[in-house]
């Protein structure tokens, strides 16, 4: 969670948002309780950490797929009663199919944050660099990126494509890595997905 300082010196916790992936007004299908005891739920992905979430919704919540909702530090209690982390396997089929579009929308909405991955990536060990965790980036391409960023930071995905020969889809490379990190809990190194 990121923190920012307010003018009076108090530490203030930043508002967190998530994108809704699926909405189940009648609750989970595997919940065997009578309908009147089931809560409406939604599946969502946090914009800041790509954490997968299950939201228990208030009775009259007006929510839809791709809606952006406040998940913290104080969730919008007119919509959300509780927020809990889930794994990729806990998502509904509809949520899984929506995930790629949601990740793409999050990247689009905050392009510089993801361009800065190319600007700021560091070595993990003597043999492994964070850039090598990105799909399709081997030693040669990594070195081209490092050489180009010495000349100045990248300002956009388009500029990365223009300056780094061989890296034609830098945005899609980021999206592919995020989805890989979401699907595989056992990955040793994660750049984007982290529990809050």
Q: What is the pLDDT of residues 70-116, one digit of tens each?
A: 998 888 778 999 999 999 999 999 999 999 999 999 999 999 999 99
Enclosing domain of residue 130? 111-183
Distance CA 43, CA 23 (A): 7
Q: Are 152 and 82 part of one and the same domain?
A: no
Residue 189, in any domain of the structure: no
Give the lowest-confidence range in 57-61, 68-72, 126-130.
57-61
Q: Are 54 and 23 part of one and the same domain?
A: yes
Q: What confidence score (pLDDT) does residue 21 get?
A: 98
Q: What confidence score (pLDDT) does residue 190 get?
A: 94
Beta strands 68-72; 16-24: pairing state: antiparallel
Residue 192, in any domain of the structure: no
Distance CA 101, CA 141 (A): 27
Residue 75, in any domain of the structure: yes
Q: Are 68 and 144 part of one and the same domain?
A: no
Q: What confidence score (pLDDT) does residue 28 get?
A: 84
For residue 178, pLDDT over 50 is answered with: yes
Query: What is the dihedral angle through the alpha carbons of 55, 57, 63, 65, rounded to the nearest 10 degrees?
Result: 30
User: Which tokens go with 22?
Assistant: 């699926």
DSSP state of 73: S
pLDDT in tens, 134-146: 999 999 999 999 9
Last residue of a domain, one of 27, 58, 91: 91
Q: What confidence score (pLDDT) does residue 59 get?
A: 82
Backbone phi and psi for residue 43, each to the nearest 5 degrees, phi listed first: -105, 140
Q: What confidence score (pLDDT) does residue 5 get?
A: 40
Q: What confidence score (pLDDT) does residue 83 get?
A: 94
For residue 85, give the nearest of 114, 32, 49, 39 by alpha carbon. 49
CATH code: domain of residue 25? 2.40.50.140
Distance CA 131, CA 143 (A): 9
Residue 74, in any domain of the structure: yes
Residue 196, in any domain of the structure: no
Q: Are 87 and 119 part of one and the same domain?
A: no
Q: What confidence score (pLDDT) does residue 195 get?
A: 72
Last residue of a domain, one of 91, 125, 143: 91
CATH code: domain of residue 146? 1.10.150.280
Q: Are 81 and 154 part of one and the same domain?
A: no
Q: Are 87 and 115 part of one and the same domain?
A: no
Residue 16, in any domain of the structure: yes
Q: State how far the alpha carbon of 159 is from the alpha carbons of 119, 135, 191, in Å.
A: 12, 19, 22
Q: Which has the higher per-residue pLDDT, 9 or 37? A: 37
Q: Which residues lie below 8 Å from residue 97, measured CB to CB, with a gap of 6+?
A: none
Q: Are 85 and 11 part of one and the same domain?
A: yes
Distance CA 8, CA 50 (A): 31
For residue 79, give the nearest of 20, 6, 38, 123 by alpha carbon. 20
Q: What confidence score (pLDDT) does residue 196 get?
A: 59
Residue 99, in any domain of the structure: no
Q: What confidence score (pLDDT) does residue 1 get?
A: 35
Q: What confidence score (pLDDT) does residue 31 get?
A: 82
Q: How many domains does the chain have?
A: 2
With contact defined as beta carbons under 8 Å apart, do 31 and 25 qualify? Answer: no
For residue 57, give the nearest of 84, 25, 29, 31 by alpha carbon. 25
Residue 57, classed as helix, strand or coil, is strand
Residue 105, in any domain of the structure: no
Mean pLDDT of the chain: 91
């Amino acid at each position: 969670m990121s923190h920012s300082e307010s003018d009076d010196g108090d530490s203030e916790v930043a508002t967190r948002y998530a994108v809704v992936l699926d909405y189940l007004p009648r609750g989970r299908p595997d919940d065997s309780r009578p309908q009147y005891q089931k809560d409406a739920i939604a599946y969502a992905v946090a914009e800041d950490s790509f954490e997968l979430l299950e939201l228990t919704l208030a009775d009259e919540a007006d929510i839809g797929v791709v809606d952006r909702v406040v998940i913290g530090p104080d969730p919008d209690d007119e919509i959300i009663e509780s927020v809990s982390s889930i794994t990729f396997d806990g998502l509904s089929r509809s949520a899984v199919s929506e995930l790629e579009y949601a990740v793409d929308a999050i990247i689009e909405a905050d392009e510089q944050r993801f361009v800065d991955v190319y600007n700021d990536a560091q070595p993990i060990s003597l043999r492994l660099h964070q850039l090598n965790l990105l799909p399709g980036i081997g030693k040669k391409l990594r070195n081209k990126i490092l050489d180009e960023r010495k000349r100045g930071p990248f300002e956009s995905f388009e500029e990365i494509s223009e300056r780094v020969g061989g890296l034609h889809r830098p945005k899609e490379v980021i999206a592919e890595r995020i989805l890989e990190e979401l699907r595989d809990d056992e990955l040793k190194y994660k750049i984007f997905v982290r529990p809050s």
